[in-house]
Every structure is written in structure tokens, then in C-alpha cells.
């Protein structure tokens, strides 16, 4: 898809804006689309929920000021923060921020659909804690009408006529893929979506999706948003949303599918051994491989004068086979400030080789 002209800064096209915003953060091509985005993406999941509006605006302004352009949200963010919420708070906040500064055409905007659970008072207990088991059983899914209505609602909240990237947030095994893909193709044809993506999906499903798109002439996904970090998932890990060896190899062979890595620093556990101990995020990684990886990470971090969290981000930014776009989700402006220096960390070939080879 070529350059799209949208109302914005002096009527500039997205391609022209890419040139203007590439002075700070490095830019890279998204898959094989020809569209360039910043190497570091910013997740807005907590904005409007755990992160106050004032802090969210500071984070967004600092990220864009540093040359960032790739914003990520979803229609379900953050329903679990408030009893009775139906999600959408993050999208609404981003919409206000973009309107206030006429910023829509300064950013590459991604959102997601399919993961809002069916409303029920039982989604929260008496203390306001979410029931994730119930939520996962009642996700909206990726039916054609569901996605069309979900996207229209997202566009209203975001205050825009299109998003640059639209993901199926949670792979829906109960809806025929043909139904989902034909509906998504219609959203692209209508100009409401530029590119498509998928998240939390197994490799065999990705291949099936790509085959169906090729057969029917539907637009194929160009982005895969999965959990990916320096620690490797333990043997037998069954999570569909974590990149394992098979999926990594698939991405190496299909370079038109861009990996966008969520939770790249695993909630910040690399900097804090006490936080790692018993943290739920570690359940997918525990084992002898972890200690070996962390030991080498600590050595390299000391050599480059950086924290382990920053070094992990730098390692991800150095990946080329395949390339990775880390998706950070700072809760506070201070957390963003702590992570941005990772952009300037240079790892030499020897350090990269040691980091890659580390493990049990």
C-alpha cells in the first residue's frame, strides 16, 4: 500500500512525516510493507487505567519527542481495572491526546479487537478483582459482525477514520478463519484499516491464515504481536502467545511478518532478583536455562554500563534475523525515562554471540 494522504500537519503524507520524525529514534520497515515505523513501540494498555491521564500525556509526549511513532492499544484496555468497565479507556485517552495536538498523522496507530469479555457482574469479585478464567471463556471473539462493530467503536473512541494496524487480539478457534479473514479484508477495502496483524496465536494457525489469504486474495497479516524476551520459554510451555523455537524459525523464513514483542522486559524482572522470585510472569520460563541466561546478561550489562532491563531491550533492538520491534508499556514517565537509554546501547558482535549462546 502506498503513501496515504490524511489531514494533518500541513497536509503532509505519512511518507513525508516519516522523514520528519526519524531524527531521533531509528526507523525500520514494518515487515515488507514499505512503511517505516520507530524501532521501539509504545504500549498504551495502562493509560486511562493504572496510569493517570496526566502521566499518560507526559509519557506520550516524551516518547514522540524522542522520535517514537508506533503506538499500540486495544479496545479491551483496561476493563479489569474498574468494576463495570467495558474497556476503551486507553483508546479514549489516546483520542483526546491526538486531537489536542493534531497528532494523528504523527503516529502509526495500532489497536486490537476480539478480547473484550461478555459483560457480567461475575467478572469481578467483591473486592473488585477480575475473574480471568471467566473472561477468557467469554471473549468476544473474531466473528465478522463482532470485528466490524468493534472496529467502528474503536475508531469513535480514537477520533479517527482509520487505524494503521488492526490486530485480532486473541486467536479465536471457534470462528471459521474464512469468516474472520473476509471481514478483515472488507475493513481494509473500506479504508478503515491499512494493515492487519494477529496476536496470541500458534504457528500452525499463522500458516493456515496465510494460505487462505493467498487463495482468496485477502490481505495477509503483516505483524505478529507475541510475548518475546531474552529469557527462553521452558520446555513444555503451552502458552499460545509466547514465541518459541518453532515460531522463531517461522519468522526467520517469512520476513514479511514483523514480530512486535510485548512484555520485552517481563514486567521489569531483570533488574530485580526479589521481583523475579515467585512472580507470575516467571511461570513460563523457570528452569536451569534462566540462571545461565541471567548470569551472562549481568556480565554484558556491566560491560556496557547499563541495567539488565536496558540491556535486554538493546539486545532485542539488535536482532536482525528476524528483526524485532520491542513494545514497551511504562506505567510512569520515570519508567519510560529509565528505558529510553537502551536506544543508545551498542552491543558488539562478541557480546551478542555470548548472549545468544548462553543457556543450559
CA 340 to chain centre: 17
- What pLDDT sits at residue 7? 34
Cα-flanking dihedrals φ and ψ of residue 5, to 5°?
-90, 125
Q: 344-360, pLDDT tens digit by residue? A: 999 999 999 999 999 97
- What pLDDT sits at residue 191? 98
- What pLDDT sits at residue 16? 37
Mean pLDDT (the chain, rounded): 93
CB 187 within 8 A of CB 122: no
Closest CA to 147 of 108, 104, 192: 192
Cα-flanking dihedrals φ and ψ of residue 236, to 5°?
85, 0
CB 196 within 8 A of CB 164: no
Question: Among residues 63, 77, 250, 262, which one is catalytic?
Answer: 77
pLDDT at residue 40 is higher than 70: yes
Q: 67-78, pLDDT tens digit by residue? A: 999 999 999 999
Strands 27-29 and 36-38: antiparallel
Q: 197-240, pLDDT tens digit by residue? A: 999 999 999 999 999 999 999 999 999 999 999 999 998 888 99
CB 265 within 8 A of CB 328: yes
- What pLDDT sits at residue 237? 87
For residues 47 and 196, what is the distance between their CA atoms, to the nearest angstrom?
Answer: 23
Place of cell 545468544: 356
For residues 229 and 20, what is the distance between their CA atoms, to the nearest angstrom?
Answer: 31
Place of cell 510512569: 332
- Structural domains of the chain sorted by starting position, each given as residue range(s) with its CATH number in brackets: 9-221 (3.20.20.100)
The predicted model scores a pTM of 0.92
Q: What is the mean pLDDT of residues 135-145?
A: 97
Strands 223-227 and 193-199: parallel
- What pLDDT sits at residue 10? 34
CA 121 to chain centre: 29
- What pLDDT sits at residue 287? 87
Query: For this structure, is 77 an active site residue?
Result: yes
3-state secondary structure of 88: coil
Closest CA to 178 of 208, 151, 148: 208
C-alpha cell, 64: 514522540
* Confidence at 8, pLDDT banded by 50, 70, 90: very low
pLDDT above 90 covers a percentage of the chain that reads 91
Amino acid at each position: 500500500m502506498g503513501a496515504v494522504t490524511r489531514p494533518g500537519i500541513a497536509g503532509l503524507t505519512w511518507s513525508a512525516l516519516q522523514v520528519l520524525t526519524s531524527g531521533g529514534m531509528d526507523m525500520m520497515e514494518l515487515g515488507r510493507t514499505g512503511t517505516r515505523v520507530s524501532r521501539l513501540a509504545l504500549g498504551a494498555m495502562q493509560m486511562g487505567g493504572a496510569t493517570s491521564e496526566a502521566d499518560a500525556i507526559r509519557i506520550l509526549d516524551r516518547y514522540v519527542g524522542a522520535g517514537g511513532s508506533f503506538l499500540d492499544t486495544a479496545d479491551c484496555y483496561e476493563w479489569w481495572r474498574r468494576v463495570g468497565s467495558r474497556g476503551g479507556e486507553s483508546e479514549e485517552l489516546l483520542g483526546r491526546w491526538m486531537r489536542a495536538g493534531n497528532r494523528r498523522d504523527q503516529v502509526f496507530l495500532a489497536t486490537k479487537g476480539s478480547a473484550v469479555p461478555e459483560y457480567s457482574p461475575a467478572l469481578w469479585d467483591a473486592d473488585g478483582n477480575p475473574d480471568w478464567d471467566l473472561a477468557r471463556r467469554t471473549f468476544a471473539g473474531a466473528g465478522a459482525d463482532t470485528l466490524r462493530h468493534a472496529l467502528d467503536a474503536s475508531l469513535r473512541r480514537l477520533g479517527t477514520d482509520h487505524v494503521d494496524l488492526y490486530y485480532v487480539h486473541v486467536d479465536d478457534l471457534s470462528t471459521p478463519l474464512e469468516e474472520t479473514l473476509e471481514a478483515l479484508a472488507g475493513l481494509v477495502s473500506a479504508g478503515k484499516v491499512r494493515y492487519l496483524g494477529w496476536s496470541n496465536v500458534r504457528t500452525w494457525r499463522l500458516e493456515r491464515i496465510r494460505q487462505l489469504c493467498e487463495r482468496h486474495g485477502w490481505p495477509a497479516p503483516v505483524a505478529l504481536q507475541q510475548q518475546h524476551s531474552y529469557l527462553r520459554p521452558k520446555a513444555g510451555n503451552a502458552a499460545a502467545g509466547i514465541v518459541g523455537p518453532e515460531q522463531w524459525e517461522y519468522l526467520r523464513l517469512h520476513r514479511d511478518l514483523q514480530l512486535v514483542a510485548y512484555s520485552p522486559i517481563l514486567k521489569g524482572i531483570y533488574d530485580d532478583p526479589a521481583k523475579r522470585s515467585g512472580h507470575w510472569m516467571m511461570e513460563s520460563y523457570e528452569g536451569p536455562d534462566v540462571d545461565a541466561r541471567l548470569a551472562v546478561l549481568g556480565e554484558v550489562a556491566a560491560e556496557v554500563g547499563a541495567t539488565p532491563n536496558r540491556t535486554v531491550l538493546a539486545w532485542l533492538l539488535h536482532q536482525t534475523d528476524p528483526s524485532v520491534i520491542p513494545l514497551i508499556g511504562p506505567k510512569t514517565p520515570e519508567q519510560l525515562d529509565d528505558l529510553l537509554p537502551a536506544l543508545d546501547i551498542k552491543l558488539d558482535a562478541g557480546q551478542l554471540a555470548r548472549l545468544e549462546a548462553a543457556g543450559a
